[in-house]
Structure 1
């Protein structure tokens, strides 16, 4: 059994790399993107390299993710863990925010415009905020950590990698969710999907009238209700 979250994700990639891992919808913008495990891993590697090479993020530091339900939240969580950093519900040394610039990091703040394919902002950003979409594509698709996490390394606040893996219920099916996957309950759910070999349909701004059709189109096995966030 994998002892750390990057190993758990790597096992999911090896198990069925070409299968859908995360399918994202935004009914307000009509966006749909489907990420296989391999494609997700490419984004994770690029982002982890960005964190180390551009923002000097080190093992043991904290990352705050202030994004709405979005596929990039999953990428950032996996990237932070790959570097050996921990997610935090408080103020992180580094923060990732959306176009609302709702949170700031103690040392670095990175913003995503939340445009399709992680696109860059179309207008200049406020001072002190870096543009994720302008930087991430310049980084390699392979990441080798200098100081990888251990089972006892923090993963989310006081929870270690071992805690999250041991507490997560394995998810073997395809689930539809409408909540963020980067808070405490969200990372447990994400860990369960990686552990069980399931997949996620993540819907932001879900139009209730489209739910039944989406379940059918995406071959969803289970809808997790009451978890908006």
Structure 2
């Protein structure tokens, strides 16, 4: 098994790229989006190119993710690692936030409107805040890192790539979760799914009345609480 996270995900794409990897629901907005591993990889490449070309992200930089449970959080985690940077639970060199603008980065703050398909904001953003949806589509679907991570490169706070991979339990099931996948426990779960060939149904604002039907419709094997 690869000890570098971008290679681990690339192996999953090669293994079964057309299979659903991440299915996202928001029961308040009514949004549903299904991302295969290949589609996820396209978003990751676009975002990694944005990080490297527009925001000058490189090895030694950190990215803070201040998003609710959302498919873009997964994209930003994988993109950060592809660009050679690390995720942080603190203040990042770069920060990605939702429309509430709850966090700021030391060098750049990027915001997502969290609209379907990563759509742009409909109203102007404050000075110094970049609109992810307005910028990401300008970038290509293939990413070539300038400074690729190594197994001992930081991945999340004091954890390296090899440590995050080694401590993740492989998950082969299709799991339903309502929690963020970008904190320490969530990243362990995400890496486990990538390593084990599983898939995720990520539900934001879950309507409990819809749970039983969703489990059946999505062929969920397990529901993970918390």
TM-score tier (shorter): over 0.9
- Cα distance between partner residues in 1 of 2:125 and 2:133: 12
Q: Deviations over 1:35-70 (max 9, x none)?
A: 000000000000000001111111121000000000
Secondary structure at the residue paired with 2:176? strand
- Cα distance between partner residues in 2 of 1:110 and 1:205: 23
Give the drift of 1:15: 0.6
User: 1:113 — aligned with what?
Assistant: 113
User: 1:22 — aligned with what?
Assistant: 22
User: 1:9 — aligned with what?
Assistant: 9
User: 1:167 — aligned with what?
Assistant: 167
Q: TM-score, normalized by length of structure 1? A: 0.98
- Cα distance between partner residues in 2 of 1:51 and 1:59: 12
Q: Deviations over 1:2-30 (max 9, x none)?
A: 11000110010001000000000000000
Q: TM-score, normalized by length of structure 2? A: 1.00
User: 2:203 — aligned with what?
Assistant: 203
User: 1:129 — aligned with what?
Assistant: 129
User: 1:59 — aligned with what?
Assistant: 59
User: 1:85 — aligned with what?
Assistant: 85
- Cα distance between partner residues in 2 of 1:94 and 1:58: 11
1:224 aligned onto 2:224: yes
Give the gaps of 5 or more residues in structure 2: none
- Cα distance between partner residues in 2 of 1:26 and 1:199: 18
- Cα distance between partner residues in 2 of 1:55 and 1:71: 21
CA RMSD of superposed structures (Å): 0.4
Give the drift of 1:171: 0.2
Q: Which runs of 4+ in 1 moved over 6 A?
A: none
Secondary structure at the residue paired with 1:32? strand
Secondary structure at the residue paired with 1:141? coil
